[in-house]
Amino acid sequence: MSTAQGRGTHAKAILGPELYAKLENTHVLLVGAGGIGCELLKNIVLTGFGRITLLDLDTIDLSNLNRQFLFRKKDVKQSKALVAAQTASAFNPNVKITPIHDNIKEPQYDIPWFQQFDLVLNALDNLDARRHVNRMCMAGNVPLVESGTAGYLGQVQPLLKDRTECFDCIPKPTPKTFPVCTIRSTPSQPIHCIVWSKSYLMGQLFGEDEDADAGGELDAAEKEGENAQEIDALRKEATAFKAVRDALRSPTNQDAAHLVFQKVFNADIKNLLSMSDMWKSRSPPIPLDFEGIMNGSFVLRQGANADASTSKLPEAALKDQRTLTLKDNVSLFIDSTNRLADRLRNGEDTISFDKDDDDTLDFVTAASNLRSSAYGIETKTRWEVKEMAGNIIPAIATTNAIVSGLIVLQALQLLRKSYDKLRNVHLQFKPAVPLSTISLSLPNAQCGVCRDTYAVLRCDPARATLGEVVKGLLGDDEREVSVYEGQRVLSDPDWDDNNERTLESLSVTRGKFLAIVDEEGELTTLSVGIALLPDDHPADAPPFILPSPLPQPARRVKPPPPAPETPHKANGNGKRLLPVELDDGVIDMAPTPKKPKRNGLAPASVPNGPVSVGTKRKATGREGEEDKSSPSKKRRLEEEGLVVMDGVDDKLEEEPDFILIDD
């Protein structure tokens, strides 16, 4: 038996001849060639999937080599998709791999493009891209296996239109954000200083000049009578930053880094200290003295960072993991600022943070640590700053390997159409039970992605108008609708100005979706994916081809009504507060008085007696008479602040206003 013939012997024995024969003609789209993607590509090649399209936008970085084993040092800066395909092809010559170095969100990857695949496997670490692939698979009714890892944790989730929930059925947590004032003026955690260095200081010094028109704006504000003192302070700050920016770009100024240090870590901090109210309940920052730090005479503060400028900590084996002293951070700040200034002087217009750019990483590390030192916050190593600034979750090769194996198992169940055996699989940090499986949930009836009704409209956007397209899609349906593209309103029942405009003029082109929304909210949204006309479409034919049959949106499932709230218990005895109107018209919430008992017995009630709202009467129950009201009913009435009278002849000690419930 030849090597090529024997290569799939074990897979054929395990999967069975029928499924194994099916793999040869299965066309798979693998999106992502990173940590999971490399392992997964190796797995599906060796399993015997015959046609694989591999798409990834990224290039290989040196830091990838510790876990993305399809790459070597010689491949750094090359396309991940191209190198991974070339390396994996040698594992199984019978497999055809088509690599694409591109962004999956490009318009040419539309619904018909996705529909050519039997299966889509996601190996992405980008939330926006994952949501895009999920929507395209829901629109094209293509099975998708979604996956992700975070350190020792992992998840694999098969997704199938109308059978399982989709990626967007459960809202995903939004990235952590911080108040601007905290970042700019009152940081209290290392991440605050890192975000300030990365997002604010880098942009102010090396990004676009956002203050170019600040002078004119301030002059206009002054003419309008706004606070002159505040405007003067803003003008001084803008002028100072402009001087620093100009110095960084001037080929003759060799002291620009020192000017930046003096402004940011000395003058700006002194300016903050002048606002005494800000520091009444928090420790004030300490302005940093450049000369004092460099000659060793500067004392920062007592406490955790008191000797940060002079302490000699044991150096780690790797420079990225070494704790930097205050003097180290000053030296690194000056050096990295000079390197970035040289890049500006050599023609770069702007420079933004990139975790793989040593110059920007050194700058953010030094700047954030200096700010942390000034505010008495713990400093971080270069590696820790890279993790936090680059939003890096530690990647572990073993986790990627386990998850990629689980993806293949779920993919095989989809190919078998064994939908009852599909499972959502979690990899847990529990040695006793490392894997847990959960039966898949049904789609969320309120999901704005998988519950839409999808269709494909092939058209020439340069000739097809919005009005005729919408009319053609609705057919004989005369209901009122609004039309959207993304968040943009293109038309509604009271505004049809765009109906005569072409789709192209409205930027509704290939790969975009037209959303036709029922104004009454009774039917689901009709999401129409725009695709190009076939090459053989006659030039004199209509500029679009309607889907056949026309899509029929389903009736929308109404969300269940909210459960009634439990009445608020205001005091320990379970009595709810009653509103009491005072003489001045103010309503005071007073507690309901407790009903007194007579001879240890609750007063009896008569079903047809009047019920009053207000002051409770003294108990006058008749001895020997059976209490006809149940305890639960009496309790409910008392909680509502009502008094049950014994009879029509009973009198109240006071004369309150009352409402006669049953006469």
Sequence-distant (≥ 6) Cβ neighbours of residue 396 within 8 angstroms: 67, 149, 151, 152
Structure tokens at 264: 């940011």
- pLDDT at residue 304 above 60? no
User: What would the pLDDT profile of 66-97 be if each residue is shown by its tens digit?
Assistant: 889 999 999 988 999 999 999 999 999 999 99
Sequence-distant (≥ 6) Cβ neighbours of residue 68 within 8 angstroms: 33, 34, 35, 37, 38, 60, 80
Indicate which residue of 137, 169, 181, 450 is catalytic: 181
Pairing of strands 119-122, 27-31: parallel
Q: Kindly give the interhelix angle for 358-375 and 326-345, rounded to the nearest 10 degrees.
A: 140
User: What would the pLDDT profile of 149-203 be if each residue is shown by its tens digit?
Assistant: 988 999 999 999 999 999 999 887 766 667 666 777 789 999 999 999 998 899 8
pLDDT band, residue 611 (cuts 50/70/90): very low
Q: Could you tell me which residue, 69 or 604, shows the higher pLDDT? A: 69
Structure tokens at 468: 């005729």
Beta bridge partners of 613: 642
Comparing CA positions, the residue from 81, 58, 82, 61 lying closest to residue 72 is 61
Q: What pLDDT is recorded for position 566? A: 60
Amino acid occupying residue 12: K
Amino acid occupying residue 557: V
Dihedral sign, CA of 100, 103, 105, 107?
negative
Annotated active-site residue 459? The verdict is no
Q: Are 121 and 411 in contact (CB under 8 A)?
A: yes
Three-state SS at 645? coil
> What mean pLDDT, rounded, does the chain reach?
82
Maximum CA pair distance of the chain?
Answer: 109
pLDDT band, residue 603 (cuts 50/70/90): very low
> What backbone phi and psi angles, to 5 degrees, belong to 366?
-65, -45
Structure tokens at 175: 């990235």
Give the predicted TM-score (pTM) of the model. Answer: 0.67
Q: What is the 3-state secondary structure (H, E, C) of 98-129?
A: EEEECCCCCCCCCHHHHCCCCEEEECCCCHHH
- pLDDT at residue 287 above 80? yes
Mean pLDDT of 516-526: 93
Structure tokens at 621: 């129950």
Q: Are 643 and 616 in contact (CB under 8 A)?
A: yes
Q: What pLDDT is recorded for position 628? A: 46
Torsion of CA 129, 132, 137, 143, to 10 degrees: 30
Q: What is the 3-state secondary structure (H, E, C) of 513-577?
A: EEEEEECCCCECCEEEEEEECCCCCCCCCCCEECCCCCCCCCECCCCCCCCCCCCCCCCCCCCCE
pLDDT band, residue 605 (cuts 50/70/90): very low
Candidate ranges 60-69, 395-404, 550-559; pick with highest mean pLDDT: 395-404
Q: What pLDDT is recorded for position 543? A: 94
Cβ-in-10-Å burial (0-12, 13-18, 19+) of 323 comes to: middle
User: What is the Cα–Cα distance from 395 to 393, expressed in whole angstroms?
Assistant: 6
CA 185 to chain centre: 26
Q: What percent of the chain has pLDDT over 70?
A: 75
User: What is the Cα–Cα distance from 635 to 613, expressed in whole angstroms?
Assistant: 16
Element at 45 (helix H, strand E) = helix 35-47
∠327-329-335 over CA atoms, to 5°?
105
